[in-house]
Structure 1
Amino acid sequence: MMFFFGIEHEVAFLNQAGKFADFSETKYAEFNQIVERLPTYPNDYSQLRVGDAGIKKKRWYIEGFERFADSDKVIDCLPKGIEIRTTIHSQIQGAIDELTESFNLLREVAADYGFTPVLASFNPYKTIFEPNPPLNDYEIQQLQSYPDEHTANIYMVTYGPDLNISIADLSVEKLIDIGRKLTYYSPYIVPFSYSAPFYNGNLWDGLSVRTFVRTGKRPATLVFVEKAEQLITSVPSLTKVARIPAEVGRIEFKAFDSCDDFSLYAALLALLKGLVLDESLTGRATIPDAELHQVSAKQGFSNAEIFDNANKILQAAAAALKNDSDINFLTPLKNILESGETKAQELIKQYQRFNSIEAVLKQTYLK
């Protein structure tokens, strides 16, 4: 089987004053001056979608909420951070190396404007996004025509990766089956990435506010198909029509929290690859189990059911990867299960030491 890998990683920032640089603190132009200085790679265009508003011209682009006049003219974009996306790689390590290089470039340029990247999977201060000024008629109509867009109030306060995996020459039926499998096993594997223990300026009573709020309303997995007649109806969507040929057959896993240690993304991509290859796990779901994701978000691996299933899934993935060198990437996940410690627990301990969210955030991305 020929596999291909890509990563989309959202970066949050503190500004020069040390405040969390979200839509309430930051103008589009402030992030745009950073993106303007980053390089363009003309050969990327066959793989990376530019999008309607032309915001996505580079490997870096501003993630945010576009505002429209009473027509399809974009008049503003309220930013939440800068997204990095990699090109498509035939090896996991290639995607990790490119992400690391792009992140280091972003960090260097952002520093010139007083911005420091910090790990966040949920806005530590804002619990919801409310457009100001309120949406006009045209914008309301636009949002109503795309059911997944109803959750803009969620995605503007959440940060997380899309881990993309494509397999050459799989039938649509098989692709959708893999999407349903990853959706079913999502609540057991997402704790490996948990990094969202802050809410509304305080510690939250769990490990991932992002998972608690998001999963169920937003998809855990998206499968890109070639034609509209191959879509299956579900809310949230499991399938989406590819917007460029390079997207056809892509499986996008969307439920992990952000990681500031990119070797963890390598581990998670290897886990997804193992799950694709595995034939032993029979669970399938078209929409994510919101309730189970909420248990997972609160308790993580301290919950026996979550822990036991994560262990079983990890063993199944390792067995499926048995003669593949990518099996070595799974080691950090074994370590997390053995210690029961995720990034969220580390952030909680630091908060108990510093008693300041900003002080904790400044400790992230230091590797």
Structure 2
Amino acid sequence: MSDFRFGIEHEVAFLDGAERFVDFASTPYSLLQAVIDELPLYPRDQEQLRIGDAGIRVKRWYLEALERLSPEGEWLTCLPKGIEIRTTIHPDIRGAVQELQESFALLCQVAARHGFTPVLTSYNPYQSCLFLDPPLNPYEWRLLDRSPEDRTALSTFLTYGPDLSLSCAAWSVEQLIDHGRKLTYYSPYIVPFSFSSPFYEGRLWEGLSVRTFLRTGQRPAALVFVAEEDQLIYSSPSLTKLARIPAEIGRLEFKACDSCADFSLYAALLALLKGLTLDVSLPGRATVPDATLHQRAALRGFDDEELFEGARQVLLAASRSLAADEDSQLLEPLFALLEKRQTPAHQMIAHYRRTGSLKEALRFPYLASQGWTCETTQGSSATS
């Protein structure tokens, strides 16, 4: 039996019934919270999924939002971003992906009754700033000054992306941290497989991932959870973090990917991460992400020869290390993307050029992933 364990967190963005993009500028939090309220509660999940001090994360689904607090620390309201789905911990990749698919399907059913349609993006395609009225008060600023991640937390309310987590009972703390440093180093070659944010301020952007271009250097590529303070490595952004519940101890989270509408890509990416932790051939290690290389990836993807070759080496190394493992089959979508030098963003761009509609380009990936077929052809750029 495998010593590995896997989990996925996936953020979902929406359009409302009036075809507006759902965010802090357009939508009261209570409308999205009504969707959460209708979804089921699985009490035993609390052993695996962190609830948090505010008690917002009590279900497999929760409202991603910025809490506004009074100068005395009392809750006032929330500014919504979207809804996050969390899976429980699974001994195999397929089980985690299957649970995500089921949770997503149920979310879509309930959200539709409230007038919401899921759309794929990894960066808010209309807003480039988080507008706060009133501005943050001294109490709120203090909360945002506790760690490197807290100090950049406001930027996350424009981004959408998954946490792909894995752990292995056989890892020592030293091995766990080494795996985190390895994934941080090779992150620029991994993330293009997921790119899905080619829009910015209501129009087509010059590259493939606004999210990667803007977040790298501020936020971790990989984060490892340790049990003791003396196991922490201090860096900005962080590589290590104290586990908040026992189930987090020994967890390795890869946080740099864009969101995927086709959940088989999450299976492929988890298999890639697993393979890289088993690999002994790749020497690269880094405590903080290479922001410049990530930005090159965000702009050009696999059209950049260095990134293409790095992705090929990473994928082959993972494939070799999984040669006797059935999870090696899960890597096939990544080989296909690399061969074509494509990313999911390429399909979104093509659909946008064909239809002239940004909203259709955002809606298309989830429709296609549910078995719909949509031809995408190159055409002239337009805005909507």
What residue is the counterpart of 2:113 in the other structure? 112
Deviation for aligned residue 1:137: 1.1
| Cα separation, 2, equivalents of 1:67 and 1:109 | 27
| Cα separation, 2, equivalents of 1:349 and 1:247 | 40
What residue is the counterpart of 2:32 in the other structure? 31
Deviation for aligned residue 1:128: 2.0
Deviation for aligned residue 1:71: 2.7
Deviation for aligned residue 1:145: 2.4
Please list the CA deviations of residues 149-174 of structure 1 after superposition, one character each: whole Å capped at 9, or x if unmatched: 22233200000000000111311111
Verify: 1:233 aligned to 2:234, yes or no: yes
Please list the CA deviations of residues 152-205 of structure 1 after superposition, one character each: whole Å capped at 9, or x if unmatched: 332000000000001113111111100000000000110000011000111000
Q: Secondary structure at the match of 1:5?
A: strand
| Cα separation, 2, equivalents of 1:199 and 1:36 | 32
Q: Secondary structure at the match of 1:211?
A: helix
What residue is the counterpart of 1:133 in the other structure? 134
Deviation for aligned residue 1:43: 1.1
* One-letter amino acid of the structure 2 residue matched with residue 232 of structure 1: I
Q: Secondary structure at the match of 1:79?
A: strand
What residue is the counterpart of 1:206 in the other structure? 207
* One-letter amino acid of the structure 1 residue matched with residue 305 of structure 2: A
CA contact under 8 A between 1:301 and 1:307: conserved in structure 2? yes
What residue is the counterpart of 1:359 in the other structure? 360
CA contact under 8 A between 2:189 and 2:307: conserved in structure 1? yes
What residue is the counterpart of 1:311 in the other structure? 312
Verify: 1:272 aligned to 2:277, yes or no: no
What residue is the counterpart of 1:170 in the other structure? 171
Please list the CA deviations of residues 47-103 of structure 1 after superposition, one character each: whole Å capped at 9, or x if unmatched: 000011110000000011111112332221111000000000000000000000000
* One-letter amino acid of the structure 1 residue matched with residue 92 of structure 2: Q
| Cα separation, 2, equivalents of 1:318 and 1:246 | 29
| Cα separation, 2, equivalents of 1:243 and 1:145 | 15
| Cα separation, 1, equivalents of 2:340 and 2:170 | 39
Please list the CA deviations of residues 286-342 of structure 1 after superposition, one character each: whole Å capped at 9, or x if unmatched: 000001000010000000000001001100000000100000000000000111121
| Cα separation, 1, equivalents of 2:73 and 2:5 | 35
Please list the CA deviations of residues 5-41 of structure 1 after superposition, one character each: whole Å capped at 9, or x if unmatched: 0000000000110011011111111111000000001
Unaligned runs of 5+ in 2: 371-384
| Cα separation, 2, equivalents of 1:129 and 1:164 | 28
Q: Secondary structure at the match of 2:183?
A: helix
Unaligned runs of 5+ in 1: none
CA contact under 8 A between 1:130 and 1:153: conserved in structure 2? no
CA contact under 8 A between 2:7 and 2:89: conserved in structure 1? yes
Deviation for aligned residue 1:354: 1.4
Using the TM superposition, name which of 132-141 and 298-307 deviates more: 132-141
Please list the CA deviations of residues 120-150 of structure 1 after superposition, one character each: whole Å capped at 9, or x if unmatched: 1000001121322100111011112233122
Give the total of aligned pairs.
367
| Cα separation, 2, equivalents of 1:96 and 1:120 | 19
How does the TM-score come out when normalised to structure 1? 0.99
Closer, same or farther: CA 146–72 of 1 in aligned 2, 3 Å = farther
CA contact under 8 A between 1:129 and 1:152: conserved in structure 2? no
What residue is the counterpart of 1:97 in the other structure? 98
Q: Secondary structure at the match of 2:219?
A: coil
| Cα separation, 1, equivalents of 2:73 and 2:275 | 43
| Cα separation, 1, equivalents of 2:259 and 2:324 | 29
| Cα separation, 1, equivalents of 2:68 and 2:148 | 18
What residue is the counterpart of 1:11 in the other structure? 12
CA contact under 8 A between 1:208 and 1:344: conserved in structure 2? yes
Give the RMSD, CA atoms, in angstroms: 0.9
CA contact under 8 A between 2:120 and 2:260: conserved in structure 1? yes
Deviation for aligned residue 1:235: 0.3
| Cα separation, 1, equivalents of 2:297 and 2:363 | 27
| Cα separation, 1, equivalents of 2:239 and 2:73 | 27
Q: Secondary structure at the match of 1:360?
A: helix
Identity of matched residues, %: 59
| Cα separation, 2, equivalents of 1:311 and 1:146 | 35
| Cα separation, 1, equivalents of 2:25 and 2:175 | 43
